[in-house]
Structure 1
Amino acid sequence: MPLVTTQAIIDEARARRVGVGAFNVITLEHAEGIVAGAEQAGAPVILQISENAVKFHRGQLAPLAAAAAALAAQAAVPVSLHLDHVEDTALLHQVADAGMSSVMFDASHLDYDANVAATRAAAEWAHARGLHLEAELGKVGGKDGAHAPGVRTDPGEAAAFVAATGVDSLAVAVGSSHAMTTRTARLDHELITRLRDAVPVPLVLHGSSGVADQDLRGAVAAGIVKVNIGTILNVAFTAAVRETLAEPSLVDPRKYLAPARAGVSEVVQRMLSLLSEGDSSMVETRP
């Protein structure tokens, strides 16, 4: 089906009170595996390419974005393209030409006033081109630089930030961390609910790979809409490659990339099914 917008996918998920999965694409095999997993789950999906992935591809966004867009056009479920964790304004300005409908501009490493100013400028640029802009307030731990461990998002400050910047969605720090390979993070569901009640835009959870199933269900029920997932895909991808390469005579990359791609699909199918379930025990807390 045709490529859809991230805004449309988020709006539908929010209306249905379920979560939508946004999965990190590093290679073509990631993108193929994510789309296949979404088709198996019968659920919409967001393919997201991060600034770090663009750096891996020698600073070129267009080739990987074009491949992802081609996959989306042939998918049996709605698929959108998103550029994630952009700090470089020059890269931000490539989004519209790359066929993407949304971007996460990350100025969370700056102090509050500078974050507001930079994010407001990014939002104005994006909105002039019909793009959805996500931003971050608070600091999600687990990476250097913009993601150094820090304070969790304050609901009052979040409300002021959204009003001052005009962003379309907000990534919040509520207990998750980037790049976790174990699912031991503990989310603050009460804080998520307070944030949901404080801001008019959808909430985004980063670092979701480190969150256990029941905690993710609770997060969606409490108010999270977009759920970013990356590391857990790479765990499955790499495990499949390692297992296949135990055969020392193997040299054909298709022999280890095919099971790696299948491993990604399995994770995506399971995670999308989980996010669409929600947590019926907490639904009554939603307005």
Structure 2
Amino acid sequence: MPLVTTGELVGRAAAARSAVAAFNIITLEHVEAVVTGAESANAPVVLQVSENAVTFRYGRLLPLARAAVAAAESALVPVALHLDHVRSDRLLREAADAGFSSVMYDASHLPYADNLAATRAAADWAHAQGLWIEAELGQVGGKAGPQGRQHEARPPLDAHAPGARTDPSEARAFVADSGVDALAVAVGSVHAMTTRTAALDHELLKRLDGALTVPLVLHGSSGVPDDELRAAVVGGITKVNVGTALNLAMTGAIRDFLAAHPEAVDSRRYLSVGREAMARAVQSIVKVVAGREP
């Protein structure tokens, strides 16, 4: 079916007090696994390409973006394409011509005034191109920069440290002054968690939901248990970002396969196992986020 927009999917979810799952993709196997998993769950999905993924692909956005667009157009469920955690203005300006309908502009590592100024400029440009834009306020934590370096402008705070959480009053002003369409909020999740032990601050989420009129986004969702994810969606989260969970599924499945088949050299044999594991993970997460499981 035709590629849809992130704004459309998030808007539908917000109206239904539900959420849409958004998965970060790195390889073609990620793309195929996300689409297959979403089809199995019969639910829409967002394919996300991060700035780190673009760096990994020699700084070239189009090869992975075009693969994602082709997969979306042949999918049996609605699929949107989102450019995630962008700091480079050059990369931001490639989004509109590469099939993306939305972008997450990340200046959250900067002091508030600088974050606001940079995000306002990005939002003005994005809206002029017809793009939906997401920003982040507070520090979700755990996010590495290019080549795995932690963000350098300011050390990342622990998810539970004073000042890490998103303040509702500050968030209201930030959204009004920046003009963004959605806000990623820091309520206790952490990027790149490999265990599902995050405990969210649901009281803070309730206050944020009451203070803001734009959709709320949860980053670092791989480390959030199913019950916490369900509660977050009920509490107002409308877009749930997932990345590490796919890499855990893929790497674990490939590691197990190669341990059992040390003679294997055909990459299709172990990549297919990794792709299937990711697809199962996608199906499970999509069902939880969309409210398809009790």
CA-to-partner distance for each residue in 1:21-63, whole Å, 9 max, x for gaps? 0001000000000000000000000000000000000000011
User: What is the Cα deviation at residue 278 of structure 1?
Assistant: 7.8
Alpha-carbon deviation of 1:279?
A: 9.6
Counterpart of 2:50? 50
1:16 is aligned to 16
1:191 to 167, 188, 204: 204
The alignment of Structure 1 onto Structure 2 pairs a total of residues equal to 280
Alignment partner, residue 274 of structure 1? 288
Aligned to 1:257: 271
Report which stretch shifted further, 167-176 or 270-279.
Answer: 270-279
- The 1:279–1:166 alpha-carbon spacing in structure 2 relative to 1, beyond 3 Å, is farther
Residues 216-257 of structure 1 show CA distances to partners (whole Å, capped at 9, x for unaligned) of: 000000000000000011000001110111111100000000
Distance 1:139 1:279, change over 3 A: farther
Q: CA deviation at 1:17?
A: 1.1
CA distance in 1, matches of 2:7, 2:88: 23
Report the CA distance between 1:212 and its aligned residue.
Answer: 0.4
Q: What is the CA-CA distance between 1:147 and the residue it aligns to?
A: 7.7
- Segment drifting more, 136-145 vs 126-135: 136-145
**Percent identity at matched positions?**
61
For residues 3-30 of structure 1, what are the alpha-carbon distances to aligned partners after superposition, in whole Å with 9 as ceiling and x for unaligned? 0000000011111111110001000000
Q: TM-score, normalised by structure 2?
A: 0.93
Structure 1's unaligned 5+ residue stretches are 281-287
Answer whether contact 1:19 1:278 (CA < 8 A) is retained. no
Deviation at 1:73, TM superposition (A): 0.1
**Equivalent residues of 2:287, 2:293 under 8 A apart:** no
Partner of 2:31: 31
Q: Distance in 1 between matches of 2:116 and 2:289?
A: 31
Distance 2:96 2:164 in 1: 33
The residue that corresponds to 1:285 in the other structure is none
2:183 corresponds, among 166, 170, 178, to 170
Give RMSD over aligned pairs.
Answer: 1.3
Query: Deviation of residue 158 (structure 1)?
Result: 0.1
Runs of 4+ aligned structure 1 residues displaced above 4 Å come to none
Indicate how the Cα distance of structure 1 residues 104 and 255 shifts in structure 2: closer, same or farther if over 3 A, else same.
same
Are the equivalent residues in 2 in contact too, given 1:17–1:278 (CA < 8 A)? no
Structure 2 Cα separation of the partners of residues 279 and 241 of structure 1: 28
Matches of 2:188 and 2:50 in 1, distance apart?
21
**Secondary structure of the residue that 1:277 maps to in structure 2?**
coil
Evaluate the alpha carbon distance shift between residue 114 and residue 177 of structure 1 in structure 2; reply closer, same or farther with a 3 A threshold: same
Deviations 1:174-198 (A, max 9, x none): 0000000000110001111110111
Name the TM-score, length of structure 1 as normaliser.
0.96
The residue type paired with residue 105 of structure 1 is Y
- Consecutive unaligned residues of structure 2, counting only runs of 5 or more, are 144-149, 158-162
Paired with 2:231 and 2:7, the residues of 1 have a C-alpha distance of 23
User: Match of 1:47, SS?
Assistant: strand
Letter in 1 for 2:204: L
Q: Conserved in 2, the CA contact under 8 Å of 1:221 and 1:278?
A: no
2:146 paired residue number: none
Kept after mapping to 2: 8 A contact 1:221/1:279: no
CA distance in 1, matches of 2:142, 2:113: 24
Q: 1:21·1:45 contact (CA, 8 Å) conserved in 2?
A: yes
Query: Partner of 2:290: helix, strand, or coil?
Result: helix
Matches of 1:116 and 1:79 in 2, distance apart? 30
Matching residue's letter, 1:215: E
Q: Determine the structure 1 residue equivalent to 2:233.
A: 220
Are 1:148 and 2:156 counterparts? yes
